[in-house]
Structure 1
Amino acid sequence: MTYQPLTTASKPWKICSVYPHLKDSYWLSVNYGMVEHAKKLGVELKVLEAGGYPHLEKQQTQIKDCHQWGADAIILGTVDSTAYQGILSQLTGEIPVFATINDIDVTDPDIRKNITAKVGVDWYEMGQAAGEFLAKRHPRGSGVVNIAWLPGPSQRGGTKPVTQGFLDAVKDSDINIIKTMWADNSKELQRNLIQKLFASGQHLDYIVGGAVAAEVAISELRSNHKSDDISIVSTYLSHGVYRGLRRGKILFAPTDKMAQQAMLSLDQAVRHLEDKPIERDLSPKIEWLTPTHLPKDVIADSLSPAEFRPAFSVYNHKVRR
């Protein structure tokens, strides 16, 4: 994707951004991309986070808070693609809304009317990427391999499209899914799933799943002396997955360049406010990462630097703590 981001804003617009949570390195990297661009442009940025995908009411209250704060634009990482059907305009009034990262149901008339532009990758394609990687390694007739599929929470985020993309990609290969296990993206819950998996005694060749499952799998395989027998594939990138790729402990992860997506959302908002040309639907190219292919520019577009801490306010080119 060739895109020229703005280098400055004509005035310190008030941009209010609402995230589902800031509990993992994915949304921390989103925060980083947005905060850096706000500092560069000189706009005012307020960040609110709902504390998790089940917290729809809290997120709705936060959108009202953006309105009361006097936001010129709202950037919404929704907790649920359909939750705002028929009600978005009641929360936002006349303020333009920019959907970021998570899909929102633009077939709903009220949502369609209020979403000015969006940035996001189809999570079906993230699952598909992981599936294609494995299907290429194990084509039909090469010998059946058993995998456990641990995509994350069953209800929220992109796990359903990820699962569909993965299943579609492996259906004509020798990949045999022997177990599908759902749980929220906490290390403890994902660790429990992997321990149950080992306790079942089933023969396994791969653990494939979300970044949290992939990260936890590294230490669980090591402590159970299975690192040489079972390989790990992740459906998205995190700091822990990146470390795993660098050390050869994880074979593959796609990245949707979340820091870049956040920068693009802020850029869309400022372009709209300044009546500049705007692309209304932006989607970075999904990159395949392996231990031997970790391009520096792709990692920089994806992950926050190690020293970055969550930031909730940018004013006059600086983070306010």
Structure 2
Amino acid sequence: MPAVKAEARLELDGLRVQTFQSDNPEQAERTVRFEGPEAASKPWRICAVLPNVSDSYWDWVVDGLRQEAAALGVRVAVFEASGYDASGLEQQRRLLMSRCVGGKYDAILIAAIEDGGLNEPLAAARTAGIPVIDLINGYDDTKVSAHAMVDFWHLGSLAAKMTRDMAAKGAVGAKGKARVLWVPGPEMANWVQCGHKGFTETLADVPGIEVISLYGPPFERVQAQLIRDAWDKHGPFDMVVGTAPTAAAAVSLRASGMLPHGMPVLSYYATPTVMDLFARGKLMAVGTDEPVVQARIGVSLAVMLLEGMPVPRVVGPIPRMVHHSD
């Protein structure tokens, strides 16, 4: 991923968005302002490949893709793999080759299961003259034309700061000490590694907080078993922080008495499910990376590339943590 060196803010239908320049020394000190197209000059065909849609996070992404496609007058076809594992990665490779490149789409949006795992089909897309936009998950900057994404380091860091502040107030743990179960997601995913670094680096020098880090696919049933296993293997912990399915699983386990009553639970990104739990007071806080907006930006970037407009390397919403004092 390109290192973030400069940023500018803009309005996308009233939403604040960041744009970033790459690590190129000629670009690093310049800020840019993202100006999306009002309409496309023709009904471009865009191919979007997602990891899966069983996680409701991706429902929001599909909504954003469709919203911006309708607004700009283009068409988006959405294809999904089966999830964050070797089988899902192979499905993404096949979809990119057979559907996107083979179907002669004009542009590709890829939410990659693994950074570096799709180099061959992305090279085929480049040979065919098809621009590729990295959508949300993160991919090698040399293999794509632009990125519509948030750096998950910031979401992990925001979750860590919330954890730190709660521990400092005595809301987590006891006698100045707290054990936190941290489950950032499937280990193979770029966004998970970024989120993990943000969380652990932010807490690295905070005394009294012990972090138990575990990886796992973002499915609630799997996360519930992972949490139970962590309790048995590592002993009691005072707080659960992790993916949206992690948070949902922790809330269910807490309600059934398998986790202590009142244990704080935090999701470091939002889905419809966890926002409902948050609204009902079941979660302490929820991070948000505005997936609908990221998807809309991805479609806009595709149209801009196809129509020869200047395009910033990375554009994404400003991540934030929503809590009950908001």
TM-score by length of 1: 0.82
Is the CA contact (8 Å cut-off) linking 1:135 and 1:174 kept in structure 2?
no
Count of residues in Structure 1 that have an aligned counterpart in Structure 2: 287
Deviation of 1:259 after TM superposition, in Å, equals 0.6
Aligned letter for 1:2?
A: L
Deviation of 1:292 after TM superposition, in Å, equals 3.1
Is 1:25 the counterpart of 2:66 in the alignment? no
- Could you report, residue by residue, the CA deviation over 1:23-72 in whole angstroms, capped at 9, with x for unpaired residues? 21111111110111111222121111122222222212211221222211
Tell me the secondary structure at the aligned position of residue 195 of structure 1: helix
Per the alignment, residue 195 of structure 2 pairs with 162
Is the CA contact (8 Å cut-off) linking 1:252 and 1:291 kept in structure 2?
yes
Deviation of 1:232 after TM superposition, in Å, equals 0.5
C-alpha distance in 2, partners of 1:117/1:226? 43
Which structure 2 residues correspond to residues 52-71 of structure 1 after superposition, within 5 A?
52-54=83-85, 55-64=88-97, 65-71=99-105
Aligned letter for 2:164?
A: A
- Could you report, residue by residue, the CA deviation over 1:258-291 in whole angstroms, capped at 9, with x for unpaired residues? 1100000100111222233433310211111112
Candidates 98, 102, 112, aligned match of 1:78: 112
Stretch deviating more after TM superposition (256-265 or 153-162): 153-162
Stretch deviating more after TM superposition (76-85 or 28-37): 76-85
Per the alignment, residue 35 of structure 1 pairs with 66
Per the alignment, residue 99 of structure 1 pairs with 134
Per the alignment, residue 291 of structure 1 pairs with 324
Which structure 2 residues correspond to residues 236-255 of structure 1 after superposition, within 5 A?
236-255=269-288
Is the CA contact (8 Å cut-off) linking 2:134 and 2:148 kept in structure 1?
yes
Aligned letter for 1:134?
A: T
Candidates 273, 290, 299, aligned match of 1:257: 290
Is the CA contact (8 Å cut-off) linking 1:134 and 1:175 kept in structure 2?
no
Is the CA contact (8 Å cut-off) linking 1:151 and 1:210 kept in structure 2?
yes
Per the alignment, residue 123 of structure 1 pairs with 152
Deviation of 1:3 after TM superposition, in Å, equals 4.1
Per the alignment, residue 206 of structure 1 pairs with 239
- Could you report, residue by residue, the CA deviation over 1:241-269 in whole angstroms, capped at 9, with x for unpaired residues? 11122122111121111110000010011
Candidates 6, 10, 16, aligned match of 1:2: 10
Per the alignment, residue 124 of structure 2 pairs with 90
Tell me the secondary structure at the aligned position of residue 182 of structure 1: coil
Deviation of 1:8 after TM superposition, in Å, equals 2.2
Candidates 155, 180, 185, aligned match of 2:218: 185
Aligned letter for 1:126?
A: L
Tell me the secondary structure at the aligned position of residue 53 of structure 1: coil
Per the alignment, residue 302 of structure 1 pairs with none
Stretch deviating more after TM superposition (224-233 or 158-167): 224-233
Is the CA contact (8 Å cut-off) linking 1:53 and 1:157 kept in structure 2?
no
Is the CA contact (8 Å cut-off) linking 1:139 and 1:173 kept in structure 2?
no
TM-score by length of 2: 0.81
Distance change in 2, residues 1:194/1:129 (3 Å): same
C-alpha distance in 2, partners of 1:83/1:16? 18
- Could you report, residue by residue, the CA deviation over 1:118-150 in whole angstroms, capped at 9, with x for unpaired residues? 111111111111001111233499711121222
Distance change in 2, residues 1:268/1:178 (3 Å): closer
Provide structure 2 residue ranges, at least 5 long, that are not aligned to the other structure.
Answer: 1-8, 13-35
Stretch deviating more after TM superposition (70-79 or 256-265): 70-79
Stretches (4+) displaced over 6 A: none
Tell me the secondary structure at the aligned position of residue 312 of structure 2: coil
C-alpha distance in 2, partners of 1:119/1:229? 37
Q: Give percent identity, aligned residues only.
A: 28
- The Cα RMSD (Å) is 2.3
